[in-house]
C-alpha cells in the first residue's frame, strides 16, 4: 500500500474512514491488561502548530523504535475542514519543532537526520522532498521565521576557537563555571537557504550574555531577545531583555529590561511599539513565586505588570490582534487565557471548567487555536477550536490505541492535611472497585515540586499503574503542597518545610482512603522520581506506614545535594540559606537525618550521570539503610542523567518497580533485579 499522502483520492477517503472507525471504538470495550511493552509503545501526539490561515494543523507523532532504542517523532499535517491527515516526514531519525512559513506554503522542522547536531529543514506543506536550510556547526537550538517570511533567525552555541587547540595539547578538561559555550543569534535569508544550507550571519557575540529566547519585530528590522549572563541553569535568574537592530553598517544591541530576577519570552505587539514578556518583576527567588506578563515600550522605559491579579504562573503564547494569549494551570486543569493589554482584563478562552489543554498555538489574527487535550478517558489528542466560541474538534485518533485495554478510572480526590490544608490528588482504581478495605494502595508522587498530576490517560513511563490497578490495587497521585495550579501561597507552603509538610500531605491522603475503606493499611507503598523520589526517601526514613518504597533520582541529604547539583539556587529558594549558615534546616528536611529509625524495604533507582540530583544521594541512602539492616536494592541506569529517556531502559525501570511492589504488596517471589523477564511483543 502506498503512503497515505501519495494515495489516490478514493484510497485516501477509504483509509480515513477506516481510521475514523477504529477511533470510534469505545474505550469501554476492554479486553486485556496492557503489558509494559504495550504501555511504552503507545504513540503520542503533540507540538500542534496551526497554519496562518487556520486551515491546517501540523503536529508531531512520537513512536517507539525498539530496534533503535529511541522515541522518534514525525511531522503530520491535518486538514481542519475535512479532518484528513497525512504523514509529512518519514526519516528514521525523526523530526521535531515544526513551524509554518508565514505564507503557509512551507513547513520547517529540526532533525538530526544528517547524523550531526540538529539542523533546520523545510518541506512543501503538501509533501515532497525536504530541503536542508542550515549548516550550523553546533546545531540549531530555537528558531523562528520573520513575520514576512523572508528570513529565519535561530540560536546556536558558539564554539570557543581555543578549545580545540587546548584539547589537543592538554587533553580534555573543564574549569567549573568558567568553561561555557555561549548561545548567540544567527539569521539567514530564506531564498538563499532554499538554494543551499546556510551557516548564517552571526548577529550577537561575546561572553557578556547567552541568548535564550527571541521574537522578530513585525517590520523584520529588529529582534527582541532574552539572555542570561552565562549559559548555566544556576544563573537563570539573571535573564534580561535586549533589542537587536539589524543594519548593513553594523548590528546594534541595546538593553531593554535589566531588573533583578528572570525576564524572558519576549513578544512584540502587532504594531511593533511594545514588547510583552514573562517577568519575575524583581523577584530573584522564582521557583515558588508567580511570574507575570509585563509590557514595556520597544524604545525602553519602566515595565508594567498586567497579571498581578492572576494567582498562578503564566506561560505566554502569542500577542495577536485579539490580545495576548497565555496558558496556565488551575488546580488539575489547564486552560488558555486571553489578556487585553489595554484594559488589563483576562478572559478564560477554553471550556469547560474541566478542560486540560496544552501546547497551544494561535493564528496571527487570534481567532483560531490548535492544541493538545487529554481527559480521564482519552489520550492527548490534537484539536482545533475557534477562540471566540470554544468548540474543540479532534484531528487525531490516538485513543484508539487503548480501545481493547483494561484501564483504571481517573478522578480528582480531595482531603485535609495535618495542618488543615486542602490537598488534591488523582485516584486511579478499577471501574468496579468497591471500598471493601482489601485494596493495596500505591502512592505515586510527582516531581518538581512545581509539577502537577491531572486525571488523564496514560501512565506509560516509570510506573505500570494500570497493571497494579488490574490486580486489585488503587493508586493515589498526590498534588502535595508546592504543586503547580493552586496559587503562590500553596506553592510556598513547603518553603523551609520540605519533606515535612509534603509527608503530611501523603500520609493524610493514606489515612483518608483507609478511613473510607478504600485501602488496606497493611499494604501501602510509595514511589516517585526527582522531588517525588525525595519525598519517598523522606517517608522511608521518617515513617513506618509503608510496606515498600521506591526512590527514583531522589535527594537523601540536602547538604550533599546543594554542593553537587547544577541548580544550587533551587535549594536556597526553598531552605533559605546554605548548609554552613543554617545546618538545622538542612537536618530537619533531609531523609538521612532520620535513617536510624528506617524500617521500610526500599528500591533506589538513579541515572549514572545525573547532575540535577547527583548520584551521591542514592549511594548515601543505600548505605544508610544497609547499615541498619533495612532491605534495600539500588539500580543504576548507565549513561543517563536525571531522566531515563530511552525505551529499553524505561522498560527496565518499570519492570524493577513492578517486581519490587508485586513482591512486597502481593507476595510474589522476592525478585532478582539482575534478571528481568522477557515481555510479550507489543500489540501493533
Domain locations along the chain: 408-666
- C-alpha 612/C-alpha 404 separation (Å) is 39
pLDDT in tens, 120-172: 999 998 889 999 999 999 999 999 999 999 999 999 999 887 778 888 899 98
Question: Is 358:312 a contact under the CB 8 Å cutoff?
Answer: no
Q: How far is CA 254 from the centre of its chain?
A: 32
Check pLDDT > 90 for residue 19: no
The pLDDT confidence band at residue 679, using thresholds 50, 70 and 90, is low
The pLDDT confidence band at residue 26, using thresholds 50, 70 and 90, is very low
- C-alpha 447/C-alpha 379 separation (Å) is 21
Contacts of 111 (CB under 8 A, 6+ apart): 89, 91, 93, 94, 95, 96, 118, 119, 121
Q: Does domain 408-666 have CATH number 3.40.50.1820?
A: yes
Arithmetic mean of pLDDT, 566-589:
96
The pLDDT confidence band at residue 205, using thresholds 50, 70 and 90, is very high
Percent of the chain clearing pLDDT 90 (strictly above): 89
The pLDDT confidence band at residue 460, using thresholds 50, 70 and 90, is confident
- The span from the first CA to the last CA of the chain, in angstroms, equals 17
pLDDT in tens, 329-367: 999 999 999 999 999 999 999 999 999 999 999 999 999
Arithmetic mean of pLDDT, 506-525:
98
Check pLDDT > 50 for residue 483: yes
Arithmetic mean of pLDDT, 610-615:
98
pLDDT in tens, 271-311: 999 999 999 999 888 789 999 999 999 999 999 999 999 99
pLDDT in tens, 36-83: 999 999 999 999 999 999 999 999 999 999 999 999 999 999 999 999
Q: Using H for helix, E for strand and C for coil, what is the string for 608-654?
A: CCCCCCCCHHHHHHHHHHHHCCCCEEEEEECCCCCCCCCHHHHHHHH
Question: Is 194:134 a contact under the CB 8 Å cutoff?
Answer: no
Write down the mean pLDDT value for the chain: 93
- C-alpha 355/C-alpha 678 separation (Å) is 39
- The strand pair at 151-157 and 143-145 is best described as antiparallel
Whole-number pLDDT of residue 110: 98
- C-alpha 27/C-alpha 378 separation (Å) is 8
Arithmetic mean of pLDDT, 367-389:
97
- The strand pair at 368-375 and 357-362 is best described as antiparallel
Whole-number pLDDT of residue 164: 80
- C-alpha 212/C-alpha 142 separation (Å) is 8
Check pLDDT > 50 for residue 2: no
Check pLDDT > 70 for residue 680: no
Percent of the chain clearing pLDDT 70 (strictly above): 95
Q: Which of 30-34, 329-333, 481-485, 546-550 has the lowest mean pLDDT?
A: 30-34
Whole-number pLDDT of residue 168: 87
The pLDDT confidence band at residue 28, using thresholds 50, 70 and 90, is very low
Amino acid at each position: 500500500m502506498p503512503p497515505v499522502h501519495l494515495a489516490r483520492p478514493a484510497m485516501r477517503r477509504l483509509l480515513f474512514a477506516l481510521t475514523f472507525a477504529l477511533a470510534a471504538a469505545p474505550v469501554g470495550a476492554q479486553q486485556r491488561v496492557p503489558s509494559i511493552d504495550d504501555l511504552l509503545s503507545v504513540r503520542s501526539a503533540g507540538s500542534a502548530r496551526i497554519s496562518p490561515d487556520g486551515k491546517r494543523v501540523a503536529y508531531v507523532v512520537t513512536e517507539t523504535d525498539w530496534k533503535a532504542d529511541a522515541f522518534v517523532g514525525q511531522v503530520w499535517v491535518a486538514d481542519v475542514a475535512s479532518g484528513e491527515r497525512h504523514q509529512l516526514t518519514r526519516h528514521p531519525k525523526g523530526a521535531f519543532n515544526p513551524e509554518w512559513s508565514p505564507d503557509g506554503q512551507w513547513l520547517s522542522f529540526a532533525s538530526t537526520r544528517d547524523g550531526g547536531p540538529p539542523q533546520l529543514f523545510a518541506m512543501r506543506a503538501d509533501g515532497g522532498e525536504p530541503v536542508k536550510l542550515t549548516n550550523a556547526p553546533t546545531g540549531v537550538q530555537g528558531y523562528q521565521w520573520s513575520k514576512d517570511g523572508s528570513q529565519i533567525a535561530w540560536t546556536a552555541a558558539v564554539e570557543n576557537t581555543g578549545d580545540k587547540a587546548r584539547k589537543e595539547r592538554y587533553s580534555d578538561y573543564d574549569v567549573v563555571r568558567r568553561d561555557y559555550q555561549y548561545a548567540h543569534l544567527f539569521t539567514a535569508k530564506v531564498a538563499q537557504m532554499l538554494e543551499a544550507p546556510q551557516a548564517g550571519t552571526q548577529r550577537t557575540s561575546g561572553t557578556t550574555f547567552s541568548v535564550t529566547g527571541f521574537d522578530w519585530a513585525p517590520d523584520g528590522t529588529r529582534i527582541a531577545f532574552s539572555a542570561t549572563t552565562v549559559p548555566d541553569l544556576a544563573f537563570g535568574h539573571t535573564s534580561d531583555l535586549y533589542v537587536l537592530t539589524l543594519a548593513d553598517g553594523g548590528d546594534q544591541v541595546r538593553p531593554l529590561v535589566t531588573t533583578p530576577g528572570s525576564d524572558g519570552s519576549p513578544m512584540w505587539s502587532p504594531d511593533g511599539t511594545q514588547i510583552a514578556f514573562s517577568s519575575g518583576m524583581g523577584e530573584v527567588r522564582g521557583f515558588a513565586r508567580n511570574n507575570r506578563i509585563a509590557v514595556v515600550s520597544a524604545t525602553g522605559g519602566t515595565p508594567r505588570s498586567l497579571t498581578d491579579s492572576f494567582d498562578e504562573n503564566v506561560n505566554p503564547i502569542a500577542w495577536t490582534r485579539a490580545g495576548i494569549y497565555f496558558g496556565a494551570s488551575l488546580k488539575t486543569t489547564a486552560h488558555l487565557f486571553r489578556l487585553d493589554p489595554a484594559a488589563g482584563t483576562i478572559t478564560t478562552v477554553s471550556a469547560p471548567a474541566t478542560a486540560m489543554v496544552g501546547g497551544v498555538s494561535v493564528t496571527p489574527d487570534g481567532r483560531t487555536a490548535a492544541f493538545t487535550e487529554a481527559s480521564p478517558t482519552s489520550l492527548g489528542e490534537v484539536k482545533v477550536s475557534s477562540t471566540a466560541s470554544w468548540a474543540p474538534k479532534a484531528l487525531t485518533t490516538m485513543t484508539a490505541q487503548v480501545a481493547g485495554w483494561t484501564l483504571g478510572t481517573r478522578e480528582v480526590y480531595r482531603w485535609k492535611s495535618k495542618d488543615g490544608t486542602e490537598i488534591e490528588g488523582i485516584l486511579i482504581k478499577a471501574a468496579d472497585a468497591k471500598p471493601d478495605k482489601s485494596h493495596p494502595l500505591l502512592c505515586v508522587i510527582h516531581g518538581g515540586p512545581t509539577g502537577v498530576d491531572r486525571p488523564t490517560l496514560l501512565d506509560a513511563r516509570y510506573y505500570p499503574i494500570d497493571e497494579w490497578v488490574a490486580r486489585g490495587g488503587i493508586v493515589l497521585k498526590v498534588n502535595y503542597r508546592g504543586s503547580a495550579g493552586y496559587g503562590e501561597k500553596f506553592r510556598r507552603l513547603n518553603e523551609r518545610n520540605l519533606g515535612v509538610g509534603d509527608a503530611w500531605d501523603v500520609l493524610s491522603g493514606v489515612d483518608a482512603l483507609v478511613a473510607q475503606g478504600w485501602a488496606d493499611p497493611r499494604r501501602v507503598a510509595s514511589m516517585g522520581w526527582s522531588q517525588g523520589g525525595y519525598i519517598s526517601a523522606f517517608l522511608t526514613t521518617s515513617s513506618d506506614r509503608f510496606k515498600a518504597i521506591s526512590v527514583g533520582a531522589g535527594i537523601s541529604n540536602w547538604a550533599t545535594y546543594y554542593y553537587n547539583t547544577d541548580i544550587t539556587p533551587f535549594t536556597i529558594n526553598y531552605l533559605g540559606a546554605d548548609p554552613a549558615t543554617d545546618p538545622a534546616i538542612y537536618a530537619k528536611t533531609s531523609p538521612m537525618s532520620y535513617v536510624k529509625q528506617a524500617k521500610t524495604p526500599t528500591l533506589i533507582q538513579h541515572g549514572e550521570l545525573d547532575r540535577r540530583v547527583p548520584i551521591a544521594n542514592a549511594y548515601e541512602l543505600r548505605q544508610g539503610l544497609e547499615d541498619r539492616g533495612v532491605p534495600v536494592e539500588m539500580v543504576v541506569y548507565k549513561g543517563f542523567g536525571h531522566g531515563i529517556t530511552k525505551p529499553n531502559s524505561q522498560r527496565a525501570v518499570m519492570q524493577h518497580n513492578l517486581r519490587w511492589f508485586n513482591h512486597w504488596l502481593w507476595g510474589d517471589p522476592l525478585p532478582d533485579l539482575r534478571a528481568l523477564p522477557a515481555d510479550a511483543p507489543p500489540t501493533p
